[in-house]
Structure 1
Amino acid sequence: MSDIGFRASADGEVAARASGDIAGTPAFAAILIDTFGADNVSAGAALGTRRFRDWSDTRGVEPLALLRPRDVDTVSRMLAFCHAHGQTVVTQGGLSGLAGGANLLGGEVALSLERMQAIEEIDAVSGTIRVQAGAILQRVQEAAEAANLMMPLDLGARGSCTIGGNLATNAGGNRVIKYGMARESVLGIEAVLADGTIVSDLHKMIKNNSGYDLKQLLVGSEGTLAVITRAVLRLAPRPRAVSTAWCGLSSFAGVTTLLTQARERLGGGVSAFEVMWPSYYDFVTRHVAGIKAPLAGPHAFHVLLESEGSDPARHAEDVEALLASLMEDGVIDDAVLAASTSDAAALWQVRDATAEFPVLMPGLIGFDISFAIADLESVATECAAVLEARWPGITTLFYGHLGDGNLHLIAHHPAPPPGLEEAVDAAVYDVTRRWRGAVSAEHGIGGKKRAYLTHTRDAGAMAAMRAIKRALDPHNILNPGKVFDLPPDAPSAATRGAVSC
């Protein structure tokens, strides 16, 4: 552990016990400011109009104080101090999450690594980049591109989400089918445990079987086990050719055939395979301004296919040959191949139109679930039927990253009855349980889905997760109330004095 003087003195121990009585109340903010300085700690009016809630519709409150350290040693001292005083801490990144994982429930201090944004090193030979956790994903992508490499992770919130948040939630995004989730890009991590212990494992090696793989334990832990401060990420060669196509198909069997054939016949591999049901496609093309329908006429399914290659001319020919062959075989009904980057952007605009949904459908209920690919059509059909039978006239839109089994569902009722969201959640997650799916594919559990985690994880897995939490965060100070609840024998700080935001 880093050298933290107050923990070694009797006076410090007495102070810790005394101030522990006011942990979780506004008075504790003054103690933090006195200890770490007003430059590192803000509270009260100094918080201004800063946002402290993520993009979900879950409850969030203002923090007792905002901690903004500049280096890992300060993070260590801050966490050790909060640990000794029983003060709960919630780490916040770009606040682009959709599960309430970074929201404060009341009585916590917020910890932001926004001052730790450095891109420290790019190793072109190893194909790695070392960055601080507060670095914005888009800046990391741009740094990789400047070195003629590519950061594989990509998602719509790239301009605001941070690497620390991406790793804490094991972010997915558009390229999972080829490059995997965020965890597949992680070679090394530096993190600070609840008691201030710094765990540094910033190696660049792909092969490293030296004991437990602690970095992968922390990836996806949603800030409940440690605060990620730095990471070494694996980069990919920058593709020299990218082909984008839009396909209309008459059956789900045709969709899976297209996926299988594209994987087998395109040498560079499939980098995106986005599937849209007619409900989604029709809604977007009718209601979202500036969207142009890629194809004429109705289709049972729409697929946005993207493939990468090393030879621009040859790769375009291969994609065109694949589409022509499958159209001749009756697998694809109609297709269009982007002839330019602007054409490709127009096709992606249809898939990315979800950003307009909160305005077009106020109070929408969104789901991020996953299943075996072969089950997706049946699951979507069952979900639509269950919701329509119980709430006639409800709108249900289906789309997703089919190549990795991720299904997104949007439900919206024009005149929602009381308790609609809770009831719809229960209905959809019950279908998810029966089809042995996952209640969270890529957005985490946070506070929004913790009641349904047991639909996906059995009793043994839940017991193991709770044991890990107790071992690394015995006082339950890191993001309490998220992912799952701990029994009363793991106390957390008081939750008095919260102010809604």
Structure 2
Amino acid sequence: MNTTTTPVDAPEQLFGALSEELGPSAVLTGAEIPNRNCKDWHSLPQVPLAVIRPVDAQGLSSAVVECRRLGLPFVAQGGLTGLCGGAVPEAGWVAISLERMTGIDEIDRAALTMTVKAGTPLETIQTAADDADLFFPLDLGARGSCAIGGNLSTNAGGNRVMRYGMTRELVLGVEVVLPDGTIITGLNKLLKNNSGYDLKQLFIGSEGTLGIITRAVLRLFPKPKSTMTALCRVDDYGAVVALLQSARRDLGPLLSAFEVMWPDFWETATTRAGVRPPLTGGEGFYVLLEVQGTDQQIDAPRLEYWIERTMDLGLVSDATIAQSLAQTHDFWAVRDTGELGRMIGPRLSYDIGLPVSRMDEFATNCKASLGLQIPSCQSIHFGHIGDGNLHLFVWVPGSPAGAQPKDVVDGIVYGLVKEMSGSISAEHGIGSFKKKWLGHARSEAEIALMRTLKKALDPDNLLNPGRVI
């Protein structure tokens, strides 16, 4: 409840003292509020009461304390590239944007760490690591726009999870502002630290509902000396699983990505979307794999030998290895959903986790159920199969975004996920869009524990309320 006596229809009067403390352009109201702070990639615009833009944890803490004094709900915002409505304000809320909290504090080559501010774009971090002859492995399509704080708060996945793990495996310490304004500075740089609870894990993946991450210590790795990309065609999903097992066994830690495109995805991308296929002349599943090593002279022959052997064994029908950076980009362009999404138009997107052995069973049953209940419906399947993450696009051709049959499709997709003991969100989070389906992937006891944690840290339920649980 709003406890201030100042009318909410004059929001600039609410934050006068805070504006003086944080400086010019730190508090935006009314017509000053940019459109970017009103929505994420898949949400309808919602104009907040105000946008507060601190430059450090102390300023953010002051903003939190003021929001609490006024009884106003508030939400943290990073790059706003989320897909589940987790950082979108509602009417009467305050958006606390980390867009001015950018920069790299330190790169420690001995410890293999980088300390960064939470608003720093992921691509900036990747480039800084590369310039230091090191490597930060987190990578996803929104790398140029997404902020590392958002990556941490959603425990982002991406293309290299099977080798390096989810984002939580790439973080050693965090600085966090709690819902009451308390600053917790836990910028640990030690890989081994069992001194009590691992508090950072409370905030990584909690989608900004338990605290606001302001800085982080990230793990770096030696820069790969060789990166190779191969594209393989296999006849059926059984061969996909066998190829994955072979790659894990024979390529070992060199294997960094194993992406699979179902026949429906490949056909849509290469014929309807006009992407030029690197391999032609055959139906089946297409596997895009990446190998990163330490010696090009050793690693390249090893990959070539492995592919030749899998073809001799009949696992692979056809294959090609990228011979240049341009060819590597061409390979990934087929898997890139940007142009494909523009061709399809309005669609429903799903990000689910499933046992690898049952992914094709899911795809077959899902397509059949969609066809029975929505005869005009179309769908395509693809994903990071090496880490159990399947994506699908579902759409009714010619229907605008608001007319896509979301409720029916959600019921089919998440119903099958529940039957197969999967996850309704492999990497994108829950936000507000998937909240009603959380019980399909989490038990009542687990959800009750989540609520207990939320109540303990945010008893007035003002930090990003109504999200996740």
Q: Same fold (TM over 0.5)?
A: yes
Verify the 8 A CA contact 2:18 2:62 in the aligned structure 1. Answer: no
Verify the 8 A CA contact 1:59 1:105 in the aligned structure 2. Answer: no
1:61-460 alignment, distance < 5 Å:
61-289=46-274, 291-352=275-336, 354-416=337-399, 420-460=405-445
Measure, in 2, the Cα distance between the counterparts of 1:418 and 1:48.
28
Q: Taking structure 1 as reference, are residues 48 and 456 closer, same or farther at Cα in structure 2, changes over 3 Å only? A: closer
Question: In structure 2, what is the equivalent of residue 5 of structure 1?
Answer: none
Measure, in 2, the Cα distance between the counterparts of 1:359 and 1:292.
16
Q: Taking structure 1 as reference, are residues 212 and 26 closer, same or farther at Cα in structure 2, changes over 3 Å only? A: farther
Cα deviation, residue 60, structure 1 = 3.6
Verify the 8 A CA contact 1:29 1:64 in the aligned structure 2. Answer: no
Query: Partner letter of residue 182 of structure 2?
Result: T
Q: Taking structure 1 as reference, are residues 49 and 432 closer, same or farther at Cα in structure 2, changes over 3 Å only? A: closer
Measure, in 2, the Cα distance between the counterparts of 1:215 and 1:377.
36
Measure, in 2, the Cα distance between the counterparts of 1:286 and 1:170.
35
Measure, in 2, the Cα distance between the counterparts of 1:125 and 1:133.
23
Can you list the C-alpha shifts for 1:120-175, whole angstroms capped at 9, x where unaligned? 00001110000000111000001101111101101010001001000001000011
Question: In structure 1, what is the equivalent of residue 27 of structure 2?
Answer: 41
| Secondary structure of 1:407's aligned partner | strand
Can you list the C-alpha shifts for 1:105-124, whole angstroms capped at 9, x where unaligned? 22111111111102000001
Measure, in 2, the Cα distance between the counterparts of 1:360 and 1:22.
49
Measure, in 2, the Cα distance between the counterparts of 1:232 and 1:51.
26
Can you list the C-alpha shifts for 1:362-421, whole angstroms capped at 9, x where unaligned? 220010001111111111111111101111131110000000110001001014495711
Verify the 8 A CA contact 2:6 2:14 in the aligned structure 1. Answer: no
Cα deviation, residue 33, structure 1 = 3.2
Cα deviation, residue 63, structure 1 = 0.8
Measure, in 1, the Cα distance between the counterparts of 2:130 and 2:9.
45
Cα deviation, residue 358, structure 1 = 3.8
Cα deviation, residue 50, structure 1 = 3.8
Query: Partner letter of residue 465 of structure 2?
Result: P
| Secondary structure of 1:61's aligned partner | coil
Verify the 8 A CA contact 2:3 2:71 in the aligned structure 1. Answer: no
Measure, in 2, the Cα distance between the counterparts of 1:422 and 1:343.
41
Can you list the C-alpha shifts for 1:169-195, whole angstroms capped at 9, x where unaligned? 100001111111110000000000011
1:42-57 alignment, distance < 5 Å:
42-56=28-42
Q: Taking structure 1 as reference, are residues 73 and 418 closer, same or farther at Cα in structure 2, changes over 3 Å only? A: closer
Measure, in 2, the Cα distance between the counterparts of 1:276 and 1:39.
46
Question: In structure 2, what is the equivalent of residue 482 of structure 1?
Answer: 467
Task: Return the TM-score normalized by structure 2.
Answer: 0.96
Query: Partner letter of residue 47 of structure 1?
Result: I
Cα deviation, residue 268, structure 1 = 4.2
Measure, in 1, the Cα distance between the counterparts of 2:2 and 2:252.
63
| Secondary structure of 2:376's aligned partner | coil
Can you list the C-alpha shifts for 1:221-255, whole angstroms capped at 9, x where unaligned? 11111010000000111110111100000121211
Verify the 8 A CA contact 2:381 2:391 in the aligned structure 1. Answer: yes
Query: Partner letter of residue 393 of structure 1?
Result: S
Measure, in 2, the Cα distance between the counterparts of 1:437 and 1:268.
26
Cα deviation, residue 28, structure 1 = 3.8
Moved more, 129-138 or 298-307: 298-307
Moved more, 59-68 or 195-204: 59-68
Cα deviation, residue 26, structure 1 = 3.3
Query: Partner letter of residue 298 of structure 1?
Result: G
Query: Partner letter of residue 315 of structure 2?
Result: V
Measure, in 1, the Cα distance between the counterparts of 2:341 and 2:265.
14
Query: Partner letter of residue 125 of structure 2?
Result: V
Root-mean-square deviation (Å): 1.6
Verify the 8 A CA contact 1:262 1:269 in the aligned structure 2. Answer: no
Query: Partner letter of residue 318 of structure 1?
Result: R
Query: Partner letter of residue 374 of structure 2?
Result: W
Measure, in 2, the Cα distance between the counterparts of 1:251 and 1:218.
41
Verify the 8 A CA contact 2:351 2:424 in the aligned structure 1. Answer: yes
Which protein has greater RCO, CA pairs closer than 8 Å, 6+ apart?
1
Measure, in 2, the Cα distance between the counterparts of 1:307 and 1:364.
33
Q: Taking structure 1 as reference, are residues 414 and 219 closer, same or farther at Cα in structure 2, changes over 3 Å only? A: same
Measure, in 2, the Cα distance between the counterparts of 1:146 and 1:22.
51
Q: Taking structure 1 as reference, are residues 329 and 445 closer, same or farther at Cα in structure 2, changes over 3 Å only? A: same
Task: List alignment gaps of at least 5 residues for structure 2.
Answer: none
Can you list the C-alpha shifts for 1:401-446, whole angstroms capped at 9, x where unaligned? 0001100010010144957111111111111111111000000000
Cα deviation, residue 48, structure 1 = 4.3
Verify the 8 A CA contact 2:6 2:13 in the aligned structure 1. Answer: no
Identity of aligned residues (%): 44
Verify the 8 A CA contact 2:112 2:220 in the aligned structure 1. Answer: yes
Measure, in 1, the Cα distance between the counterparts of 2:62 and 2:213.
15
Cα deviation, residue 102, structure 1 = 1.0
